[in-house]
Structure 1
Amino acid sequence: MTAAWSLMLLLAVLAWVLVVGQADGSMDMGPGTMGLGLPLFLLLWVIMMIAMMFPSVAPVAVTWVRAIGRQSSGAVRAARTTQFVGGYLIAWTAFGLIVYGILTVTGNVVESHPEAGRWIGAGAFLLAGLHQLSPLKNMCLSHCRSPMGQLVQYTGYRSGGARDLRVGIHHGLYCVGCCWGLMIVLIPLGTMNIAAMAGLAAVIFIEKLWRLGPVFSTVVGVAFLVLAALAPFQSWLLPGLEQHAGM
């Protein structure tokens, strides 16, 4: 189990190194997709998700390895765990397609109407805040915090080809449902804003693993609502939307 933990965390560290390297100068590209086509954007998005999500999803992956059982060889366990992680990333890649569309529209709007950026930013914070306080957030967060019950069901009922891949996709969709609001705030803060990414990764980790995670999630939601109220009047809260306007 220690090897699985170590591998997941090592991949997260390597992903952070790649993201930090790519972020150099990316914020100067202004709002939108940073000039990236869809394939390159999705590749970068997957690397970002590995960096931000793997520390909090590692316990689930380790639990799944335990559920597979010790009767399997190390190679089989590694292959099945890889399928689980791959399915998890497929779910986040699908969400990345939506993010790409949103960023494309956002970049076009802000380029034509720079003042719209403050309202887009306020809307993103408002949406994130409302999501943090919503029943959907609570349901998905409950799953992410206590996956054992679901994993037992997977073991009992999820049979057939590519079971582990389908299990990973299923868990990944819950994770997207839990965290999509947090990802939305990268629109006003900057898609490649390393400080924002690190802060959100910490929020996700605390929400899922701390004893008072649900309470912390509510506090974060209230903070986003406050930022939504301030955003139209405080441009410094919107670095991801102001760069283009100043060019």
Structure 2
Amino acid sequence: MTAVGAAARSRPTIAVVTGAAVAAVGLLLWQLSPARSLLGHDLAAGWAGIGWFTVSWLLMTVATMLPTSLPLLRAFARLLGDRRYTGWLVATVVAGYLAVWTVGGLALAAVGSGVHALVGHISYAWVVLPWTLLVAGAYQLSGISARCLTACRSPFSFLARRWSGRRPAGAEAALVGLDYGLSCLGCCAALMLVMFAVGMSSPLLMIALGGVAALHKHAPWGASLARATGIALIMAATVVGAAHLFDGAGHGAH
């Protein structure tokens, strides 16, 4: 391994850790600033709302999700070896990864905004949270989530199936980033759904959920934790729903 190659392989870690730290500090400062009301997912405010959401979502993704891709980025840099454009190709993977998360975030935010608008016109708005937790828990235990998690937990196998080096390198690197982003989004979708249910206005909560996602993807017992998370979400849905029903019954008795 040459000194140049070793330096190239260390750059993804330095760049991602630095970027995540800057994004996390940015989120916390935003939360403490007079503009904290813009840290959310209200797309009803038109293009301005979409713009502010995209900025906050990208900061959240860089702070919490991008670090979980480090094993893949390091494996990719090692696979490239001493190529002249290693840094550019790794950055292309990151760009594809973030593009998937941006589109996924906008789609989830649009659904969330529609649900919130609907809730304002129905009498049983309280059912949204328990149903969201139930759907998130069921998805967490699904085969789709398990397959996505397996792909995320096996970066070398993932690259072996998706990187040939025969196509234009930039295009293939972008496809690697897009595909890995889809796998990552797929295995973290339940946690993202919970985040939208409770609101994106708490950076600490977002960072905590990102930490749970990192454990799912990289801890030796991550797959077991993912299943336990799904069970916990279903139990939480049951508790929240039952608590509301019993509370309503108590008020009705009075």
Which TM-score applies when normalising by structure 2? 0.82
1:107-126 paired onto structure 2 within 5 Å: 107-113=116-122, 115-116=124-125, 118-126=126-134
Matched, 1:133 2:119: no
Matched, 1:83 2:95: no
Matched, 1:64 2:64: no
* Alignment match, 2:154: 146
* Alignment match, 2:192: 183
Post-superposition offset of 1:155: 2.5
Q: Is this contact kept in 2: 1:26–1:192, CA < 8 A?
A: no
Query: Unmatched 5+ residue regions in structure 2?
Result: 1-8, 245-254
2:73 and 2:38 map into 1 onto residues whose CA distance is: 36
Aligned counterpart in structure 2 of residue 9 of structure 1, from 3, 17, 21: 17
Kindly provide the CA deviation profile for residues 118-144 of structure 1, in whole angstroms up to 9, marking residues without a partner as x. Answer: 211111111111111111111000000
Distance 1:164 1:45, change over 3 A: same
Distance 1:29 1:97, change over 3 A: closer
2:39 and 2:116 map into 1 onto residues whose CA distance is: 8
Percent identity over paired residues: 26
Kindly provide the CA deviation profile for residues 81-117 of structure 1, in whole angstroms up to 9, marking residues without a partner as x. Answer: 110000001111110221121122133133444750x
Q: Is this contact kept in 1: 2:153–2:218, CA < 8 A?
A: yes
Bigger mean CA deviation after superposition, 105-114 or 186-195: 105-114
Post-superposition offset of 1:52: 1.1
Post-superposition offset of 1:50: 0.8
Aligned length: 231
Distance 1:99 1:22, change over 3 A: farther
* Alignment match, 1:162: 171
Letter of the aligned partner of 2:60 in structure 1?
A: M
Q: Is this contact kept in 2: 1:141–1:178, CA < 8 A?
A: yes
Distance 1:30 1:177, change over 3 A: closer
Distance 1:217 1:27, change over 3 A: farther
2:124 and 2:36 map into 1 onto residues whose CA distance is: 19
Q: Is this contact kept in 1: 2:93–2:174, CA < 8 A?
A: yes
1:87 and 1:110 map into 2 onto residues whose CA distance is: 35
2:26 and 2:74 map into 1 onto residues whose CA distance is: 25
Kindly provide the CA deviation profile for residues 154-178 of structure 1, in whole angstroms up to 9, marking residues without a partner as x. Answer: 2226622522111100111111111
Bigger mean CA deviation after superposition, 5-14 or 149-158: 149-158
- Larger RCO: Structure 1 or Structure 2 (Cα < 8 Å, ≥ 6 residues apart)? 1
Q: Is this contact kept in 2: 1:38–1:100, CA < 8 A?
A: no
Which TM-score applies when normalising by structure 1? 0.84
* Alignment match, 1:243: none
Post-superposition offset of 1:68: 1.1
Aligned counterpart in structure 2 of residue 51 of structure 1, from 52, 63, 84: 63
Q: Is this contact kept in 1: 2:109–2:196, CA < 8 A?
A: no
Letter of the aligned partner of 2:135 in structure 1?
A: L
Cα RMSD (Å) of the superposition? Answer: 2.4
